[in-house]
């Protein structure tokens, strides 16, 4: 992903806004939980920084190989220098940064920019059926 693409994903425009999906207390450190947003199941992975903050990654919960909604139950790890989640069914690895499958580069999962805003977990998502970017 280019720097311009990464910045555009983080910058809301007129069609997008930060939408709350759950509470910080709903998150489990170094593990996944699943939230619903506009009919989509989104797997949220929380990586605390030890100082009361941390990173939240949001990635589509549907495994493209099996069609099952299981990515939120996957294991986190690092592979090829990237933070990944391993699908619990067929063990393919998806980068949390951009959703790319390391074993099948033509396959990827949708990712959403996510943040902690106080005690809320928010995802940058479209306000309507149109795309943000």
What tens digit of pLDDT does each residue of 54-94 get?
999 999 999 999 999 999 999 999 999 999 999 999 999 99
Length of the chain: 133
Which is nearest to 16 in space by CA: 95, 125, 108, 97?
125
Walk across the sheet containing 75-79 and list its strands. 75-79, 82-86, 93-95
Give how many domains the chain has, as a whole number: 1
Question: Which residues touch 54 (CB under 8 Å, ≥6 apart)?
Answer: 29, 46, 47, 48, 116
7 inside domain: yes
Tell me the residue range of the domain where 77 lies.
3-126
133 inside domain: no
132 inside domain: no
74 inside domain: yes
Q: Is the pLDDT assigned to residue 104 strictly greater than 50? A: yes
Q: Are 56 and 46 in contact (CB under 8 A)?
A: yes
Which is nearest to 126 in space by CA: 26, 46, 35, 9?
9
Q: Is the pLDDT assigned to residue 108 strictly greater than 70? A: yes
Q: What is the CATH number of the domain that holds 83?
A: 2.102.10.10
């Amino acid at each position: 992903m280019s720097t311009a693409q990464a910045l555009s994903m983080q910058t809301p425009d007129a069609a997008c806004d930060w939408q709350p999906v759950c509470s910080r207390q709903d998150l489990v450190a170094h593990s996944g939980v699943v939230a619903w947003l506009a009919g989509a199941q989104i797997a949220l992975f929380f990586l605390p920084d030890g100082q009361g903050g941390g990173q939240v990654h949001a990635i589509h919960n549907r495994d493209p190989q099996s069609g099952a909604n299981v990515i939120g139950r996957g294991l986190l790890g690092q592979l090829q220098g990237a933070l990944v989640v391993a699908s619990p069914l067929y063990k393919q690895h998806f980068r949390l940064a951009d959703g790319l499958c390391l074993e099948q580069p033509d396959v990827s999962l949708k990712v959403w920019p996510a943040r902690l805003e106080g005690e809320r977990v928010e995802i940058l998502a479209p306000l309507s059926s149109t795309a943000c970017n």
